[in-house]
Amino acid sequence: MQAKTPEQSRTVMTDLVLPSETNPLNNLFGGELLARMDRAASIAARRHSRRIVVTASVNHVAFNRAIPLGSVVTVEAKVSRAFKTSMEVYIDVWIEDRESGDRAKANEAIYTFVAVDETGRPIPVPEVSPETELEKERFIAALRRKQLSLLLAGKIKPSQASELKALFD
Ligand SMILES: CC(=O)SCCNC(=O)CCNC(=O)[C@H](O)C(C)(C)COP(=O)(O)OP(=O)(O)OC[C@H]1O[C@@H](n2cnc3c(N)ncnc32)[C@H](O)[C@@H]1OP(=O)(O)O
């Protein structure tokens, strides 16, 4: 299988924040943002693998900045690294200033998707070939994040988390 660049899976979704999607402070409800990120990330994983994909885990979400009612929100997702059957998808969330049109980073998140066949069994995906400095940074750190996620899920033992251990050596 030929490697693909993160750009090849890039998925951008832009939408407004409507009243039904807000919390009592009139900011975007967290669950709504999670759903928007899941949708964009699943399309990115599908573009990378050209397979059915399922969300295996939500590894990291940072709600750094509240997103007010009426905001124009852009969710951008790219596959940052692929392993055998799983893909890490990095999601950046931006809001747009109404007057200037300038974009400000509001949130980010990292999801893991797995490509599966028609019966739900994991199947191999192409590798990722990062191009930009940021894509290379995210690619390198993805192995550490995968090990942390598997460790927290009880799927590997601490002794198997070599990349994580290396941080403390
Ligand atoms: C688009 C949607 O929203 S789908 C709805 C929500 N999601 C779902 O319904 C998915 C339900 N879960 C499943 O179907 C299964 O648990 C699967 C397909 C995710 C994984 O199946 P498993 O039998 O655990 O397969 P297996 O152990 O071989 O893992 C498959 C890959 O997922 C990775 N993986 C599994 N769990 C995790 C986790 N918690 N964190 C990171 N990676 C994980 C494994 O490391 C492996 O990666 P690799 O092949 O690249 O090395």
What would the pLDDT profile of 118-137 be if each residue is shown by its tens digit? 999 999 999 999 999 999 99
Cα(57) to centroid of ligand 1, in Å? Answer: 7
Report pLDDT for 104. Answer: 94
Q: Does 44 fall in a domain?
A: yes
* Structural domain contains residue 31: yes
Question: Residue 38 maps to which CATH number?
Answer: 3.10.129.10
Query: Which protein residues touch ligand 1 with a CB less than 6 Å away?
Result: 38, 42, 54-57, 83-86, 112, 114, 116, 120, 122, 146, 149-150, 153, 155
Asked if 143 and 81 count as a contact pair (C-beta separation under 8 A), the reply is yes
Domain that holds residue 103: 6-130
Nearest ligand 1 atom, CA 83: 50
Indicate if the pLDDT at residue 167 is higher than 90. Answer: no
User: What atom in ligand 1 is closest to the CA of residue 113?
Assistant: 19
Helix (H) or strand (E) holding 35: helix 30-49
Q: Determine the Cα–Cα distance for residues 133 and 155; give it in Å rounded to an integer.
A: 31
Mean pLDDT confidence for 17-42? 96
Q: What is the pTM of this model?
A: 0.94
Kindly indicate the confidence band of residue 97, based on its pLDDT and cuts at 50, 70 and 90.
Answer: confident
**Do 81 and 23 meet the contact criterion of CB atoms below 8 Å apart?**
no
H or E element, residue 53: strand 52-62
Looking at the DSSP bridge assignments, the partners of residue 12 are 76
Atom of ligand 1 nearest to the CA of 54: 4
Q: Has residue 169 got a pLDDT over 80? A: no
Give whichever of 15-29, 56-70, 91-105 has the largest mean pLDDT: 15-29
Any residues with CB less than 8 A from the CB of 147 and at least 6 apart, and which? Answer: 156, 160, 161, 162, 163, 164
Question: How remote is the CA of residue 96 from the centroid of ligand 1, in Å?
Answer: 34
pLDDT at 166: 80
DSSP-assigned letter for residue 21: G
Mean pLDDT to the nearest integer, 92-99: 91
At residue 127, the 3 state secondary structure works out as coil
Over residues 76-95, the mean pLDDT reads 98
Asked if residue 140 belongs to a domain, the reply is: no
Cβ neighbors of 110 (< 8 A, separation 6 or more) are: 58, 59, 60, 61, 80, 88, 89, 90, 91, 145
Instruction: Name the band, by pLDDT with cuts 50, 70 and 90, for residue 89.
Output: very high
CA 34 to CA 60: how far, in whole Å? 11
Provide mean pLDDT across the span 69-98. 96
In a domain, 161, yes or no: no
**Is 122 within 8 Å of 103 (Cβ atoms)?**
no
The model's confidence at residue 63, banded by pLDDT at 50, 70 and 90, is confident
In a domain, 63, yes or no: yes
Q: Residue 8 phi/psi, 5° resolution?
A: -65, -20
Nearest CA to ligand 1 atom 20: 56
CA distance 167 to 156: 17
Mutate to test the pocket of ligand 1, among 52, 53, 86 (most ligand atoms within 8 A of CB): 86
Domain assignment of residue 141, yes or no: no
Phi and psi for 57 in degrees, rounded to 5? -160, 155
By most ligand atoms within 8 Å of CB, the mutation choice from 37, 114, 156 for ligand 1 is 114
In a domain, 62, yes or no: yes
Judge whether 154 lies within some domain.
no
Question: Into how many domains does the chain fold?
Answer: 1
